[in-house]
Structure 1
Amino acid sequence: MELLLSNGGKVTETDQHGVTPLGVAAEFSHTEVLEILIKNGADVNAQAPNGDSVLYDATGTGNTDCMNILLENGANPNIHNLSFQLPIHRAAYEGHYQALRTLIPITTRRALRLSGQSPVHSASDGGHTHCLELLLQSGFDINALLAPHVSEIYGDMRKSPLFFAVSNGDKMCTEMLLKSGAQPNLDPLSCLLVAVRSGRRAIVKLLLAANADVNCYFTAVTDTVFPTAMLYCIKDEAMMQLLLNHGLDAAKCFDCSHEDTLNDFIILYATLLCVIKYSY
């Protein structure tokens, strides 16, 4: 590095991906190279075309030595990338506990508000209960909701940290979140419906025990009052029985706001047979 720099090498030169030498050094945890590049004028707040900062790259490795070198030389932990992710989100998602501890006190609430997402979402998505515990101990809201500009990125319109754990089928994270006060009825598509649709009975039981609304609806699926949970488990006897035992309103299967047709009658008749069979 010193030989190249002494012969005209430029610290601002980027590779084919638009990443500076400092970004590459951070990504591969080369602390000594970081120091040499910074000494020769490298920009500690340089960003790649996707908005990833050098500190964001360093955080991805979990190497706190690299992170501290950058921070001591003026790296800003409050620069988000094009996906509205901050270094603290990266640390939480990757499960880098020490990196997360470093970033929590220096990440501003304003930066988090502008990003539209909480590191609690990231830790839930990554499945890291130890990072979740640290964030909750540090005062982060377990029921924080994604801002609309982030939520709309997802086709399911998710909002809560709990939704990430449930949609990933992560029983351990789901249980930890619920025990810590996560509310199961905050998302347009209920966490319970996600678990029922994927056949994850253990998670369904956890959600029902936490008072998830068994008679919730997802209007994007149907414009009737036919119970959405019933719709998702019509071929799963054990799941249907579980839901019925927890108050699923089977009578709603026979309420129809549309004109009666032969099709409607056949559907209702088949449903009646199912309900009668599974109720006994």
Structure 2
Amino acid sequence: MGTSCILAKTILKCILKLFFRALKILVPVTDFAAIKRSGISPVHCAAAGAHPKCLELLIQAGFDVNFMLDQRIRKHYDDHRKSALYFAVSNGDLSSVKLLLSAGALPNQDPVNCLQIALRMGNYELISLLLRHGANVNYFCRVNPLHFPSALQYTLKDEVMLRMLLNYGYDTERCFDCPHGDKVHPFYSFEGWTSTVIKDTMVSAQYQLYHPVQQIKLHPLQKPEIKPPSSWMLVR
């Protein structure tokens, strides 16, 4: 293994363990070509670990905030995420999201839009931040022939979020456009509007499988610890 590859892997480990001082030493001598060959950028690790201080250092050193995960790494995630911004949004890490967007991170690069994740979380500040930086308000996931914007499913009971979407050009006309017209709709095996809904159901089922209700005995003020499936881990 070449020295540049060893350096690249060492940087990833430093970020994951939050060795900020070591990171400051290694970054200047890092081979960007080795980072590219690895298929994952230290920026992803900093965003995934919610380490805005490390993230800021990497951005200042010239690391690409729009570096996308290689397919061989992306396949380990159910949502096939690609961008560092997606990791930060998924964590609800507002500081890292601000850093990435200010550095030019693009909000519409992932199969499941970053805005969709923020809407699912109901995080007004994240939603507003993404919309101001060009997140596609009319994004939709296709699991049936309908094409109305998927964001609607998260705003039906939240007037504030709905108003935010409308203010940024939400296409309400699509909600009334059906490709079948008055004809009978064919049967589809998937119920729901988007793949996000399907993923929500899968996550709920997996949690119930690993944490049966009858086995959970908590103090009234204690919150259960939810451990995600191994496929969500950044490094296997």
TM over 0.5, shorter chain: yes
Q: Distance in 2 between matches of 1:244 and 1:87?
A: 46
Distance of aligned partners of 1:177 and 1:222 in 2 relative to their CA distance in 1, 3 Å threshold: farther
Rg (Cα) greater in structure: 1
Superposed displacement of residue 237, structure 1:
2.2
Is the Cα contact below 8 Å between 1:185 and 1:212 reproduced in 2? Answer: yes
1:93 paired with 2:16, answer yes
Superposed displacement of residue 112, structure 1:
1.5
Q: Distance in 1 between matches of 2:71 and 2:24?
A: 28
Question: Taking structure 1 as the reference length, what is the TM-score of the superposition?
Answer: 0.60
Q: Distance in 1 between matches of 2:167 and 2:32?
A: 44
Question: Taking structure 2 as the reference length, what is the TM-score of the superposition?
Answer: 0.71
How do 1:75-224 and structure 2 match up within 5 A? 78-79=5-6, 86-219=9-142, 221-224=143-146
Q: Distance in 1 between matches of 2:120 and 2:40?
A: 26
How do 1:3-18 and structure 2 match up within 5 A? none
Is the Cα contact below 8 Å between 2:4 and 2:34 reproduced in 1? Answer: no
Stretches of structure 1 that go unaligned for 5 or more consecutive residues are 1-44, 46-74, 265-280
> Which residue pairs with 1:240 in the alignment?
162
Superposed displacement of residue 235, structure 1:
2.5
> Which residue pairs with 1:249 in the alignment?
171
Query: How many residues are treated as equivalent by the alignment?
Result: 186
How big is the alpha-carbon RMSD for the aligned residues of Structure 1 and Structure 2? 2.4
> Which residue pairs with 2:214 in the alignment?
none
- Aligned partner of 1:78: which letter? C
Is the Cα contact below 8 Å between 1:93 and 1:124 reproduced in 2? Answer: no
Is the Cα contact below 8 Å between 1:77 and 1:103 reproduced in 2? Answer: no
1:225 paired with 2:152, answer no
- Aligned partner of 2:91: which letter? N
SS at match of 1:86: helix
Is the Cα contact below 8 Å between 1:77 and 1:87 reproduced in 2? Answer: no
Percent identical: 43
Q: Distance in 2 between matches of 1:216 and 1:244?
A: 13
